[in-house]
Amino acid sequence: MRITDLLTKDTILLNMTASSKPEAIDELIGKLDQAGKLNDRDGYKQAIEEREQQSTTGIGEGIAIPHAKTASVKEPAIAFGRSQEGLDYESLDGQPTNLFFMIAASEGANQAHLETLSSLSSFLMDKNFREKLETAKTEDEVIEAINAKEAEENEDEVEDSSTSEGKVLAVTACPTGIAHTYMAADKLKETAKEMGVEIKVQTNGSSGVKNRLTADDIAQASAIIVAADTKVDMSVFDGKPVIEVPVAKAIHEPKQLITKAQNKDAPIYSHEGGSSDSEDGGGKKRGGIYKHLMNGVSNMLPFVVGGGILIALSFFFGINSADPDSEQYNRFAEMLNTIGGGNAFFLLVPVLAGFIASSIADRPGFAPGMIGGLIATTSGVEGADGGSGFLGGLIAGFLAGYLTLGIKKLLEGLPQFLDGLKTVLFYPVLAIFGTGMIMLLINPPLTSIYTGLLSWLEGLTGANVAVLGIIIGGMMAVDMGGPINKAAYTFGIATLDAGNFSIIAAAMAGGMVPPLAMALSSTIFKNKYTKQERESGKTAYALGAFFITEGAIPFAAADPARVIPSMVVGSAITGALTMLFSIGLTAPHGGIVVIGLVQGGITQAALYILAILVGSIVAAFMVGFLKKDLRKA
């Protein structure tokens, strides 16, 4: 479907009379309604205004793309409007807006409609295309300019698909699939464009796989870059040069990776159904332990976040509201606690162990990993609830994975007619038996170690608590979503599951500081940041508020020597203050959304916010003083 199937001459306004944002919205809606594209003009206007209240659709560069998907739209359509003098549309860059594309998507719009509508934004990034729209004298010239741009893009796609030499493919993936995944993809595409290299990037994000690599893509590629901190299906790359690196490498060193891929400077990948090593970016092999661990953590996170917040919500009815014998008992609170704690949290360790094992040994490792994790949480020393918890789950996952690999190796010599029985009989029986027996033997001493560690943490007071807060908070800022950050966060989840709510509070607060600090610094010290960095700073306010530490990565990548130490100091201060204030948080994620779940009421919640603000301000001023003034550079 073409854009001009949705944008027609009767939805084009070359001389808008509006002088304000509300007037512009009304004028464009009127054009769509006049063309018969709307069922309910007022309903569509309400949907447009609700979208504008979330954030302005004035994207800058003189462009605004107001849009809404609603049943008030009769059929998908686009209205184009042009204001010769421009008007104030509250654009992100603060400049007047003169080009308007109002998108009307019906609730039943199919994928083709939605993809066509979404392609507009990428077209509008082309300065030459915008200039053609600005100078078009008739509606026909607007249509012609859009058709020419689409034809140009289609030619590029044809060229890409026919090229067999030099084409680079990439896959990006991170444990949470929120920030690193897409930052890495954007950085690779941006750098490839600068280098004149053809590239296609598949993103394995939280919402699923996007821009999936096809068999033809892989056949034509010179090499594949797999920038991932979680498991990726590698079987499709069998026989191709593959560069495996942590996702952060694609953000920090995209040019080096693309150059290596062009030169086929990578080992030929041979898929054997097991684990694989990955490069550290310097040509050396690194073990897959971190990748296996992150595969477990990323698949465990939905249970952590969903279950943890449901448990925390049950506390709103009283700390003992889920106990039928308590005066605070509330049936709804008990149901929340049962779903979150009795079910979601009960599965944390088995899911962690199962996905670690499956990362190592593929599907045959999943069942023994799950069983091993279940034993870890249920078969400990007498009187110790929760068994060996996360410690046992980690050991169970790696034990099950490598034990399954060993069993697969031992059974390679069986007659071929028995191959069908391996996966359905031999692997599960032997791997579950071996993992289960070993875990039953080692779990009691592991439980004693685990409960002893938790008891030691609970017994910390005074200066010791501050030191622990400094360590946890500082770790959250070292690599901002990488292995050190995830280690501190996973430790917080483990203590949360054991009933200690202070570590996760320090971890979350420490993780909120870097993006908030960089947002604040780029606002205060404007002369020390580029325009693009200042725009990123505005976004970082929201990312920090919602505990997405990765929001500070663009700043750290551009200036690691000044940014990272400053962030570590600020996060460490916040962690220490959080521990000294005895803050307890019953939710494992959410940032500002779960502030109300801080134990102790409004006073403690206020102290928690104070701790976050103090660390953010210290880090913001520290990096601001360290950075050079761009006017003097």
How would you label 529-539 residue by residue, b for 16+ Cβ within 10 Å and e otherwise?
beeebbebbeb
Phi, psi of 209 (to 5 degrees): -85, 130
Task: Compute CA 239 distance to the chain's CA centroid, rounded to the nearest angstrom.
Answer: 30
Looking at residue 609, its amino acid is I
Question: 385-389 long-range contacts, Cβ below 8 Å, gap at least 24?
Answer: 386/497, 386/498, 387/443, 387/446, 387/447, 387/450, 388/443, 388/446, 388/447, 388/449, 388/450, 389/349, 389/450, 389/494, 389/497, 389/498
User: Where does residue 195 rank: exposed (0-12), middle (13-18), buried (19+ CB within 10 A)?
Assistant: middle
Rounded Cα distance, 207 and 506, in Å: 28
Rounded Cα distance, 106 and 76, in Å: 6
User: Where does residue 96 rank: exposed (0-12), middle (13-18), buried (19+ CB within 10 A)?
Assistant: middle
Dihedral angle, C-alpha 299, 305, 311, 315, nearest 10 °: 170
User: Is 252 known to be catalytic?
Assistant: no
Q: What share of the chain is helix, strand, coil (3-state, %, to 5)?
A: 65, 10, 25
Which residue bears the tokens 């359509």? 77
**Among residues 618, 622, 615, 617, which one has the least CA distance to residue 528?**
622
Sign of the four-CA dihedral 87, 92, 94, 98:
negative
The CB density around residue 264, as the number of other CB atoms within 10 Å, is 13
Strand locations in 412-530, DSSP E? none
Looking at residue 35, its amino acid is A
Rounded Cα distance, 504 and 508, in Å: 6
Residue of 174, 180, 292, 589 marked active site: 174
Residue 501 has what DSSP assignment?
Answer: -
Residue 168 has what DSSP assignment?
Answer: E
Phi, psi of 279 (to 5 degrees): -85, 155
User: Is 174 known to be catalytic?
Assistant: yes
Residues pairing with 228 in the sheet:
173
The token pair that represents 525 in the structure block: 């010290």
Please state whether 5 falls in left (phi above 0), alpha (psi between -120 and 50) or beta: alpha
Q: How far apart are the first and last CA of the chain?
A: 49
Dihedral angle, C-alpha 372, 378, 380, 385, nearest 10 °: 140
Phi, psi of 67 (to 5 degrees): -155, 155
Rounded Cα distance, 560 and 330, in Å: 51
**Among residues 549, 463, 477, 466, which one has the least CA distance to residue 502?**
466
Residue 172 has what DSSP assignment?
Answer: E
SS3 124: coil
Give the residue numbers marked as catalytic.
67, 174
